[in-house]
Amino acid sequence: MKNQRFILTTGSEKRRKLGTILRSRTNDSLTREQVRHIIQSIVPGVQYEIGVFTEPSDFCDALVLEDSGDMLDRGKIVFGQALFGRNDETGINPGRLFQEQDPAAAVITRSAGTFPETRARAILIYIPPDLYLKGTGIHEGQRIQKESCI
C-alpha cells in the first residue's frame, strides 16, 4: 500500500484500510480486538507483507528468526500461544504453536544491514482451519446463502 493516494491519507484512515485488508485476508475470522492488536503492533506508514496460515506447521516454519552475520530479525507475538524459532549457526529450529485451536499473530522485522531501507516487515497470522473455513466473512456468508437458495 505504498502509493501516492495512500501516503496522503490520515493515520486513522490508514488503520481503517489495514483493518479492512486484514479482515478480508483472514476471511473475517479474527475478532475486532485481535485486528486492533495487530494494527497497534506495527509501525504506521510502513509497508508490511501479510501472511495468513491455516496449517500450524506452515505458521511455525514462518516463525523462524534469522540470527547470522548481517541478518538480525526481531519479532513480537501479538496474540496467541506461540514462540519464535531460530536459524543460527546451530541450525534451524522452527517456531512453536501451543494452542492450535486458537488464532495467533506475530510481527517480524527482517534486517539485512544497518540501513532502514534494507528492512522487510511481515505480519504472520495463524487461523485454525475450522475457523477459517466457516466463512464467517460477510461476503462468504452471502455466497453460502445464495447457494442454498438455488
Cβ neighbours for 30, distance < 8 A, ≥ 6 positions apart: 22, 23, 38, 103, 125, 127
Q: Output the furthest CA–CA distance in the chain (Å, rounded).
A: 60
Mean pLDDT calculated for residue range 97-111? 91
Instruction: Please tell me the predicted confidence (pLDDT) of residue 103.
Output: 94
Q: Is the pLDDT of residue 90 over 60?
A: yes
Q: Is the pLDDT of residue 136 over 80?
A: no
| Predicted model pTM | 0.78
Task: Report H helices in 44-105.
Answer: 56-62
| Higher pLDDT, residue 54 or 6 | 54
Place of cell 516487515: 121
Q: Is the pLDDT of residue 129 over 80?
A: yes
Residue type, 56: P
Mean pLDDT calculated for residue range 63-92? 86
SS3 content of the chain, % helix, strand, coil (to 5): 35, 30, 30
Mean pLDDT calculated for residue range 38-49? 87
Give the orientation angle of helix 32-40 with respect to helix 11-25, to 10 degrees.
Answer: 130
Let me know: does 104 contact 81? Beta carbons within 8 Å: yes
Q: Which three cell numbers stand for residue 111?
A: 534486517
Strand partners, 79: 105
Q: Which three cell numbers stand for residue 17?
A: 484500510
Strand partners, 66: 87
Q: How confident is the model at residue 51 (pLDDT cuts 50, 70, 90)?
A: very high
Positive or negative, the Cα torsion across 132, 80, 53, 18? positive
